[in-house]
A and B are shown apart, each in its own frame.
Chain A
Amino acid sequence: MKISTIVIRLSGIILVLALLIYFPGRKWARAHVNEKTATTDHPLLCTSCHLYIQKTGLIANLVNARYMSPINLTVSGDGKRLYVVAQESNALLIVDSESKKVINKIGVGNQPHSVILSKDGQKAYVSNQWSDNVFVIDLSAGRVTDTLKTGNGPAGLALSADGKALYVVNSFSSDVTVIDLQSKEEINRITAGNNPTGAKLSPDGKFLFVTSRRTVNVPYGEPLSSELTVINDSSRRISEYRKIESAYMMENVAFTPNGDLGFVTLIRPKNYVPSIQVEQGWMMTHGFGVFQPGKGGSVNELLIDEPNSFYSDPFGIAITPDGKKAFISSAGTDYITVIDIDSVRALINGSTPEVRKLYSNNLGISSRYIIKRIHTGSNPKGIALSPDGKLLYVAEMLDDNIGVISTESLQKVSSIDLGGPRRITVARKGRRLFNNSSHTFQNQYCCYTCHPDMHEDGLVYNMSGKDMGRNVTNTMSLRDISETAPFKWSGTNLTVYKQDGMRFSTFLTRTESFSYKDLDALTSYILTGIKNPPNLQYNPNGELTEAQLRGKKIFERTKDSYGNEIPEANRCITCHTPPYYTNSKMSYVQTLAATDDSILFDTPHLNDIYASAPYLHDGRAATLEEIWTKYGKNDKHGVINDMTKIQLNDLIEYLKSLRSPQYEYEDLKKNHAKN
């Protein structure tokens, strides 16, 4: 037999075999992918699941990388050094502004947030948001010299006018720690607005202004407002809670040099109207608040958006030393917006309060005070001016760069590479998508807008249809959700692939859906890159308090206080099964409202539940207590009516202690090593 004949026959056999394998194999693969993605159209790519969503192990280590992710920065008094908080690397980077090189990297605590310098410029204070402390760094020695204990989730920092006290904004416990820098002890704890972040002392040194990101809790349908907390610097007491109406996500605050005006970044959500309104330019608007710092001074809100083009997620704000220009970073659209302050002043002074209220929703008015948009790297966050005001430094969080902008030419003039990994992983790409509004109609919002810090924004949205006020849903956290499918309160999405696929664009973004590559990247980030913070306030080391231990017993009980058997389906632990405290099933706890379609609800996961007020599917319960005291009186959401108030308090203390399994394992390991 000729060789050619053999080759032909062999090829034929291989082809037949290949066809025999291909068709059923492809059929199997299709079924497999359909099952794993809960969709019918996802490409047959093994990498989607077997590479990109691995959280631990060799593959995860190979596929993923640790970036710098700069979030905030400050500039030395002589302008020669930049101090950059590298949030993902848990480091403070010291950058030479002339050579544009990182000259030192100092390890700090977990998830650092902000940095400020002492009055003499010799020390840096870095808030470690997930460590509940502030590191004091001796800049000449280049090392951490002290650790100052704070409240929960320290973020923004400010010094008192005399430089003797440090204000630390505790973003999780919603208060401000005042630390005496001589004794290094907390001398006061002042209640702030909901989820406070940014802090700045007024130029006259009399008052500290603290922004807040979440709104004051109000029942669905009532007007929203957030609070600007004003603290008297000399008495270290509250001066006022300034109400900022219809706004939230106030990240940062700045003042004109003469102190006549203060500016805060903000978002004006339209969460009460159906999300379909996004097509009409009405889902989210972004802007800034302008306020007179004096007690009871006016507050006006203006937008940085314009018709057909939005500038989502304003974060950083800085004002030039001459008081002429303000810069606002739009983290969701990669732009710096430049505002002419005199034009803002003229607009406000030349209009009545009624007209100014109209301005706060007017997309067309921004052209009267915005003089330039400057494109930046990915996800611009904190910004800082050089002492002479000639350069603006921008923390491009998802590019690992510091962008340098000339405030005279209003152009980006250079970029400082912070030395993060060159390779862009799939999860990193997903994080960029998560934080970028380009996939939403007119750039109105991105995932991050309603899920700030990948958590939730505390608002209730009308997302499931066009009918006003029907099927409203409380935003759910995206932290550590990989094992908690199905998703959405209705549980209709079994996977993130489905949640963020075609349906996402149909119901939310109103644009083209994500490409499959983008969907893979987004899914990879959501399932692998988003962690819960450690629950340092209620469960710092796995050792439960006496009340929490009593509450745990109640949570796991099978009999009520009278010795009666609690039906299995009505026990806490049946539906809220550890370690994520969800059985991933749909259930009915008699919370269906008249405005809801008749459906069951997904059992929510409970880790870090303390940080997710309001509660229940439509956010009707302002606190954990209200789940039962107001909305669980019929014993359909667990048996509760036999309990004393002490027992209910114990149960709630236990619920507040729940945290991600990661931390349970870490503490178990530590304890094991100790023993």
Chain B
Amino acid sequence: MNKRFLKNSLLSAVALILTGFSFLNGQPSVKSDAIDVTDKMPVYGHWRNFTMKDGLPSDHVYCVRIDGDRVLAGTHDGLAVYENGKWKAYTTKDGLPHNGVVSIDVSETTGDVWLGTLGGLSRWSGGKFENFTQLNSGMPNDLVYCVICDGKDVWVATAGGAGHYDTSTRQWEIFTEKNAPMHEPWTYGVSAGDGKIFIAAWGGGVIEYTKKTKQFKDYTDPDGEMEIDLLPDDGIVHDITTATTWGAGYLWASTYFGLSSYDGTHWKGYFKEHCGLASNFINFVRAEGPVVFICSDNGLSSTNGKSWITYKKNDNDSNGKAIISNFSRDDDKTAYKTTREIPMSPSIAHNFVIGVDADKDVLWVATEKGVSRGELMK
């Protein structure tokens, strides 16, 4: 038994004590008479799933974005556009820089569609793909994991750093470990809110960039532990972040080890072990106002920080359920309570969820086996 093992064991023990042995509570009991927490949380159902049979270029769908009357889905084999009840695919033959489309955003001002692909960034507008690569532009790297539009700026998170392209001046500014507090240049996500940009940096937690001052601030896991969150709510739950999103005054950061929220003063951690989260392995998050959608390897969850709805597909058939629960750790330290489960037939296409977008009354979900469309249940 080496010293490192002893240290880790000790830290783990301390963590268990501090968290009130919440991990040890086992499976929660179903309490149908518990507080109805769904009054502020939208529940989606009447799922319709789309796969290659319906015209998608691939069943592996990385991302989805609602753009007015149409829906854009990034797949392993091209961009798919759902319009007037039909899917149309676009690939490198049409001008895409790479068929692997992993991120999509739409400029609110110009309506231009920006596509993050595994081979560069593309502006899709008026039927034309204008491609930006690390060779022909100031782009940091061609592996574009995330793209967002923020006014006239287009931000990217890439395998070689993050950066932004000013569509008015056509200038790039990029950030790596050389000029920003990043552990390494690998970045997975980027989001904007409150005059700030939040970069999900692999191994570097969340990098906050204030646009006005051009100053950086980084948020890393204070305990530095890889396997556990030693001290609850002491900071972001893990340094390996996969996405960030901002909504209703909260920053949300996903990791492969849990979810974090930050209100500008306090961090809060969320784990499947003591809330309604589907899994701690989170691929992506997107906030729509006070509600955040969490894409995990074992279903889709949504929460407003207190109430949770998790959508899961059954292992053996196309049906599934929505698990509705509340979680108010501040006033109830014991456990979460499941209020009820709503059967869904069919359910979302697959439990490995990697992208999501919501509009007023529809929810689109990108999964390992197709894209799903849910309707707001009244």
Decide whether A and B assemble into one complex. yes
Of the residues B112, B135, B138, B179, contact of A652 by C-beta under 8 Å: B138
Interface flags, B283-307, vs A, CB<8A=1, else 0 = 0000000000000000000000000
Chain A residues in 8 Å Cβ range of B137: 623, 625
CB <8 Å contact, A238 and B160 = no
A-binding segment of B47-55, B168-176, B360-368, B370-378: B168-176
Which of A191, A648, A652 has the largest number of chain B CB atoms within 10 A? A191
B126 contacts A by Cβ under 8 Å: yes
Chain A residues in 8 Å Cβ range of B168: 151, 173, 175, 189
B-binding segment of A15-23, A229-237, A363-371, A383-391: A229-237
Chain B residues in 8 Å Cβ range of A151: 168
Chain A residues in 8 Å Cβ range of B140: 645
Known: A240-B126, A646-B179, A649-B174. A235 touches B111 (CB 8 A): yes
B152 contacts A by Cβ under 8 Å: yes
Chain A residues in 8 Å Cβ range of B174: 645-646, 649
Chain B nearest CB from A295 CB (Å) reads 9
Chain A residue nearest in CB terms to B214: A546
Docked Cα-Cα span, A533 to B76, in Å, equals 46
Of the residues A190, A191, A239, A629, contact of B135 by C-beta under 8 Å: A629
Chain A nearest CB from B150 CB (Å) reads 14
A494 contacts B by Cβ under 8 Å: no
Chain B residues in 8 Å Cβ range of A240: 126-127
Chain A residues in 8 Å Cβ range of B130: 191
CB <8 Å contact, A629 and B152 = no
Q: Among residues 530 to 576 in chain A, which have CB atoms less than 8 Å away from a CB atom of chain B?
A: 537-538, 547
Of the residues B109, B125, B138, B152, contact of A649 by C-beta under 8 Å: B138
B217 contacts A by Cβ under 8 Å: no
CB <8 Å contact, A238 and B134 = no
CB <8 Å contact, B169 and A537 = yes
Docked Cα-Cα span, A173 to B134, in Å, equals 21
Chain B residues in 8 Å Cβ range of A173: 168-170
Interface flags, A184-195, vs B, CB<8A=1, else 0 = 000111110000
Chain A residues in 8 Å Cβ range of B127: 240-241
Q: Among residues 183 to 199 in chain B, which have CB atoms less than 8 Å away from a CB atom of chain A?
A: none
Chain B residue nearest in CB terms to A644: B178
A400 contacts B by Cβ under 8 Å: no
Docked Cα-Cα span, A240 to B125, in Å, equals 7
Docked Cα-Cα span, A188 to B112, in Å, equals 12
Chain A residues in 8 Å Cβ range of B161: 645
A630 contacts B by Cβ under 8 Å: yes
Known: A240-B126, A629-B136. A188 touches B176 (CB 8 A): no
Chain B nearest CB from A565 CB (Å) reads 23
Which of B110, B152, B160, B178 has the largest number of chain A CB atoms within 10 A? B110
Of the residues B125, B135, B152, B171, contact of A189 by C-beta under 8 Å: B152
A399 contacts B by Cβ under 8 Å: no
Chain B residues in 8 Å Cβ range of A648: 138
Interface flags, A163-176, vs B, CB<8A=1, else 0 = 00000000001010
- Classify chain B: how many residues form its interface, as a range: 20 to 34
Chain A residue nearest in CB terms to B171: A653
Chain A residue nearest in CB terms to B141: A645
Interface flags, B134-148, vs A, CB<8A=1, else 0 = 111110110000000
Chain B residues in 8 Å Cβ range of A653: 171
Of the residues B135, B141, B152, B176, contact of A626 by C-beta under 8 Å: B135
Docked Cα-Cα span, A151 to B166, in Å, equals 13
A144 contacts B by Cβ under 8 Å: no
Docked Cα-Cα span, A493 to B313, in Å, equals 75
Chain A residue nearest in CB terms to B109: A188
CB <8 Å contact, A191 and B167 = yes
Chain A residues in 8 Å Cβ range of B170: 173
CB <8 Å contact, A646 and B136 = no
CB <8 Å contact, A188 and B110 = yes
Which of B112, B126, B140, B168 has the largest number of chain A CB atoms within 10 A? B126
Docked Cα-Cα span, A230 to B127, in Å, equals 11
B312 contacts A by Cβ under 8 Å: no
CB <8 Å contact, A229 and B167 = no
CB <8 Å contact, B110 and A626 = no
CB <8 Å contact, A191 and B172 = no
CB <8 Å contact, B160 and A645 = yes
Chain B nearest CB from A150 CB (Å) reads 11
Known: A188-B109, A238-B126, A625-B138. A649 touches B172 (CB 8 A): yes
A622 contacts B by Cβ under 8 Å: yes
Docked Cα-Cα span, A238 to B160, in Å, equals 31
B128 contacts A by Cβ under 8 Å: yes
B123 contacts A by Cβ under 8 Å: yes
CB <8 Å contact, A229 and B126 = yes
Which of B125, B138, B172, B179 has the largest number of chain A CB atoms within 10 A? B138
Chain A residue nearest in CB terms to B172: A649
Q: Among residues 410 to 462 in chain A, which have CB atoms less than 8 Å away from a CB atom of chain B?
A: none
Given contacts A625-B135, A645-B161, 9 further A-B contacts (CB under 8 A): A190-B110, A229-B126, A237-B110, A238-B126, A538-B169, A547-B173, A625-B138, A646-B174, A646-B179
- Can you list the 4 inter-chain pairs with the closest CB atoms, starting with the nearest? A237-B111, A238-B126, A629-B135, A241-B126
